[in-house]
Chain A
Amino acid sequence: MSTAAITTAPASAPLDVRNVLWLLASMVFVVAPHVPRLPYWIAVLCGIVVAWRAWIAWAAWHFPRRPLMLVLTFASIIGIWITYRTLFGREAGVALLITMAALKLLEMRTQREVTLAIYLGFFLVLTSFLFSQSIPLGIYMLVCVWIFVATWVGFNRVGRAPTLAERLRPAAALLVQALPLMAAFFLLFPRVQGPLWALPRDTAAARTGLSDTMSPGNIANLIKSGEVAFRVQFEGERPPYGALYWRGPVLTEFDGRSWRMPELSSLAEPRYAHQEKLVRYGITLEPHQKTWLFALDVPAEKPPRTTMLYDLQMRSVVPVSQRIHYDMASWLEYRYGERTSPIIRRMALRFDDERNPRTVELARKWFAESGGDARAFITRTLQHFNKEFTYTLEPPPLESRNPYDDFLFDTKRGFCEHYAGTFTLMMRAAGIPARVVTGYQGGEVNPLNGELIVRQADAHAWSEVWLPGEGWVRVDPTAAVSPLRVEGGVNAALGPIDVMSSIIASDSLGVLAYARYTWHMMNSNWNLWVIGYNTDKQRQFFTNLGLPRVDWQTLAFWLVVATLTVGGAISIGLLVRDRPRRREASVIAWQRYCTKLAAAGVTRAPHEGPLDFLARVKSTKPQIAGEAEEITRRYVEARYGAGASRQELAELARRVRELRAA
């Protein structure tokens, strides 16, 4: 019998250095995604604390004294309050949690406190999801959990410090075996639509997106963002590219520079005098913290929990603070608003006489020259844009009092908001009711799943004019300047605007494009089915399975079934791996051999070794001496020697079976 390492663990043994370093590394990993968001003094403090704790473990340095810890704790709380002016809310709360977790490390002396630190680590994983739930972050956090569990396993070992594999492998086994049950709970656990209590204010962090005002320059800024605004899944055929006008905020009020939404607006159900070419689609809208929803011009119906304004804007009842999905239908050919009330028409004619006088004057002159024919006037204006103007992302700055005069007569370089704004103002000056419509135009089709990805870069502004007998008619002055913008998107009109696009543009093999489309498809499914999995999706999931009515009892029943199945499978797996090894098979054969000889009158004494026993067998039972010797030799070789192959063990078992001892 060899005596393996024996260790008594005293009540408060100093923590193993390697284990402490593992824990510190896990903490660094889990906090890393937060670092760019943290005020830099917290990042520096955390770095110092981690190094300090590592030094305490490494050099058996003494722990900081209690008064110092109290001072550090209060100082950091005050620091956070000064930085954020609050201790609650998302940003400040996370900063507080990280700081307290770091300071807790400095006091960590016992196994119990280590476990608490690991639990804190799990909370830090959760806080990362407050900021992003993307696929890369999800994978990264899964790795973090793995490292945490590996650290945990290390702390539960006693004696010899575990090797890297002895930490990572058991942790991986635990997590991999947990995955099926996790999936079952994810799908079946009754989802409650949060929040349970009011969210802290800053959850709705500012995001890029359209706003309720438009002045020259602010959409051009949006164009530089590659962020996804929403994704569209068409049922049936996708409409032509040039028809993809995604209607958003409609801006009617004008002060000479900026266009805004009217403060008051009335509700109206759309009544179309003419409607054709219905197209159905689903939209997955990224949160933009505003109430408007986007739909293809013009919406034929509205999703639940939304309202429709008289100018065909769709508004959600609550701000879109999380990704939502809604099904829509739109008319591509339509006529509406011939009977728009005079009040609304008058609103669409207001402008400040004293600003942009040259533009107003030019418009009045051209309208008079066209003999009061609105169509001819519109055509002339668009032709003017087409001849002399340039479509550019970097327009020169405009004079603030009369920006449209400056644009129309001097700079002549602009982006969609310049054209839409100038055009609408000219229409109003000529007495034609007009308004600015903002939204998105076009999008990018993912050839892998046919999904349309609409980005902030697709933001667009155009005009609507009201003509007697025709109602509201869409006019896109940008199309007159740069038809490519409408037919081929921003990249086609301006050339690649960022590094990624230029790489993809030069990617003749299409490999990069393929990878990017795959990535988008994955993201889309991830958003739809993982991140967006909620009460509705859960119901939809069961409907797809053919179980239309699902109550919580059914869910609980299936959860129990899943738990028992997975638990049973894992238990069986563990027990199968626990089967005796080959060395054991030789023991079983040997015991059978001894039993047989005992029945024949030769009983092996407990202390008797195989060779002593063999000698005794040979002297008392000379008739089986040869066979006994062979069996003993094989057994000794298998058990105490080099081991035995499967065939050799089978041979040993066969010889024992065929032995005639009596």
Chain B
Amino acid sequence: MAAIANLRQSISDWIFRASFPEAPPVTLVQRRIFILPSRQGYVFAFVLLLLLIGSINYNLSLGYALTFLLMSMGGVAMLHTWRNLAHLRLRPGRCDPVFAGDIAQFNVSVETPSLTRFAIAMRRSGEEPVYVDVTPSETAGVSILVATRRRGLLRSGRLEVFTRYPVGLFHAWAYVDFGLTVIVYPRPDVFAGAAPMQSLNVSEEGIPVPGEEEFNMLRAYRPGDAPRQIAWKALAREQGLLTKEFSAMASSELWIDWDQAHGADVEARLSVLAHWVLQAESFGQSYGLRIPGTLISPNRGDLHRQRCLEALALFDSPSPP
């Protein structure tokens, strides 16, 4: 059975040209668009047949006219459905990392070169679609939401763009694959407690205790600074958004170490480590990360935190789901 399923998948890949991912922007040119009657469309064909039989039986000339009008309208609707999708331009958007258990967003922007397109839907295969109307004056953003459960690299896979507008008799669709990915960080284990303090190059004053640092200076706010570091009083004095820096941060280095995290399994350990990373960052401490196969030297700031969390997310999973 598995072999048959594989075969079907490869045939479908071959038919739908699955040689992805591809470079943006993608324009839905004629050959990319497929169109088939929807289930409603097949029922409509049956309705037309009944109308025709009725018209023949009762010799209703206007019945013939009605049947042929609706039939021709169905044909015209096919062209309109196809046109509703044709020539749309798609661009991948930024996809921010999330923690496992949160909702990941795959962002795609859609533009129309000319007329407004209604009810354009986008979905990952087998999932609920997201609908959007695309007007010529602005770029429409589509966010495909995916609930995450495990840490790792979440791939969007092939996205289906489809529409059934105006009357739902036909389903026109195209596939795009931008190779969108969302990095899913391990869920931080908030009950893990504080990271054990351990300094590699122990200074003479001993190990600094978090919370006892001395206030050093004010600097301009950078996105990602912890709220508790913001100088709210300065803000109240209308001096702008400033961040308090503490002298102790610069002087001490914390190593977040795989061996010190205790957990039932690898995932539990990673959760503990993630929590420590966040905690250290919020304390404004300089920290390094040491896990098997990866060593990140101490530093702090958003980029550093991202690097650490990424390392945790991708730990030991060269090919995640």
Q: Which chain A residues have a beta carbon within 8 Å of chain B's beta carbons?
A: 1-11, 111-112, 115-116, 119, 122-123, 125-126, 129-130, 133, 137-138, 141-142, 145, 149, 152-153, 155-160, 162, 170-171, 173-175, 177-182, 185-186, 189, 191-197, 199, 203, 322, 530-534, 563, 566-567, 570-571, 574-575, 577-581, 583-584
Contact = CB atoms under 8 A, between A and B. Distances in A.
Interface string B160-173: 00001111100000
Nearest to A11: B128
Q: Is the interface of A mostly helix, strand, loop or mixed?
A: helix
B9 interface: no
Given A4-B138, A189-B68, A583-B136, A530 B166 contact: no
24 contacts: A3-B140, A4-B140, A6-B130, A112-B40, A123-B50, A126-B51, A126-B54, A129-B60, A133-B61, A149-B167, A155-B168, A156-B166, A158-B121, A174-B76, A174-B167, A181-B71, A182-B71, A185-B72, A195-B58, A533-B61, A567-B79, A571-B79, A580-B113, A581-B136
A470 B115 CA distance: 83
B119 interface: yes
A193 B59 contact: yes
B295 to A, nearest CB: 32
Contact of A145 (B44, B66, B129): B66
B197 interface: no
Interface stretch (B141-149, B210-218, B229-237, B310-318): B141-149
A229 to B, nearest CB: 20
B65 interface: yes
Contacts of B40: 112, 115
Interface string B127-159: 011111111101111110100000000000000
B47 interface: yes
B66 A181 contact: no
Given A122-B51, A152-B168, 20 more contacts: A1-B109, A2-B140, A5-B133, A111-B168, A122-B66, A123-B47, A133-B60, A142-B69, A153-B167, A157-B133, A173-B80, A174-B77, A178-B73, A195-B59, A531-B62, A567-B79, A570-B76, A574-B83, A578-B87, A578-B114
Interface in B63-104: 63-66, 68-73, 75-77, 79-80, 83, 86-87, 93
Given A181-B75, A186-B64, A196-B53, A4 B69 contact: no
Contacts of A195: 56-59
Contacts of B131: 6-9, 158-159
Nearest to A534: B59
A159 B44 contact: no
A141 B61 CA distance: 13
Contacts of A153: 165-167
Contacts of A142: 69
B57 A563 contact: no
B61 A578 contact: no
B299 interface: no
A156 B164 contact: yes
B91 to A, nearest CB: 9
B118 interface: yes
Contact of B61 (A115, A152, A174, A532): A532
A531 B167 CA distance: 30
A156 B119 contact: yes
A574 B79 contact: yes
A9 B128 contact: yes
B58 A199 contact: yes
A423 B59 CA distance: 44
B43 interface: yes
B55 interface: yes
A95 to B, nearest CB: 17
Given A145-B69, A156-B167, A138 B64 contact: no
Given A9-B128, A9-B129, A194-B59, A178 B139 contact: no
Which 9 pairs across A and B sit closest by C-beta, in order of nearness?
A178-B72, A181-B72, A158-B131, A185-B68, A3-B141, A178-B73, A4-B140, A182-B68, A182-B69
B141 A1 contact: yes
Contacts of A581: 113-114, 136
B134 A4 contact: yes
A126 B57 contact: no
A152 to B, nearest CB: 5
A4 B114 contact: no
A289 to B, nearest CB: 15
A175 B47 contact: no
Interface residues of B, number: 63
A141 B129 CA distance: 36
Nearest to B118: A157
Interface of B: 40, 43-44, 47, 50-51, 53-66, 68-73, 75-77, 79-80, 83, 86-87, 93, 109, 113-115, 118-119, 121, 128-136, 138-143, 145, 164-168
A116 B50 CA distance: 14
A58 B165 CA distance: 25
Contacts of A533: 61
B113 A170 contact: no
A186 B65 contact: yes
A179 B70 CA distance: 10
A191 B63 CA distance: 12
Nearest to B53: A196
Contacts of A116: 43
Nearest to B134: A4
Given A119-B43, A145-B70, A130 B60 contact: yes
Nearest to B81: A156
A1 B142 CA distance: 11
Contacts of A122: 47, 51, 66, 70
Nearest to A197: B57
Nearest to A115: B40
Most B-side CB within 10 Å, residue of A115, A170, A173 = A115
B167 A152 contact: yes
A563 B75 contact: yes
A119 B47 contact: yes
A578 B72 contact: no
A580 B114 contact: yes
Contacts of A178: 69-70, 72-73, 75-76
Nearest to B50: A123
Given A129-B62, A156-B167, A189-B68, A578 B55 contact: no
B118 to A, nearest CB: 6
A193 B55 CA distance: 10
Most A-side CB within 10 Å, residue of B71, B76, B136, B140 = B76
Contacts of A583: 136
A116 B87 CA distance: 32
Contacts of A531: 61-62
B69 A123 contact: no
A180 B54 CA distance: 23
Contacts of A4: 132-135, 138, 140-141
B166 A129 contact: no
Contact of A2 (B51, B60, B80, B139): B139
Contacts of B142: 6
Contact of B73 (A11, A156, A175, A563): A175
A199 B63 CA distance: 16
B69 A141 contact: no
B141 A322 contact: no
A126 B132 contact: no
Contacts of A119: 43-44, 47
Given A129-B60, A129-B66, A194-B56, A157 B75 contact: no
A182 to B, nearest CB: 4
B56 to A, nearest CB: 5
A322 B134 CA distance: 53
A576 to B, nearest CB: 10
A170 B115 CA distance: 13
A17 to B, nearest CB: 18
Contacts of B121: 158
Contacts of A157: 118-119, 133, 165
Given A126-B51, A138-B62, A531-B62, A578 B130 contact: no
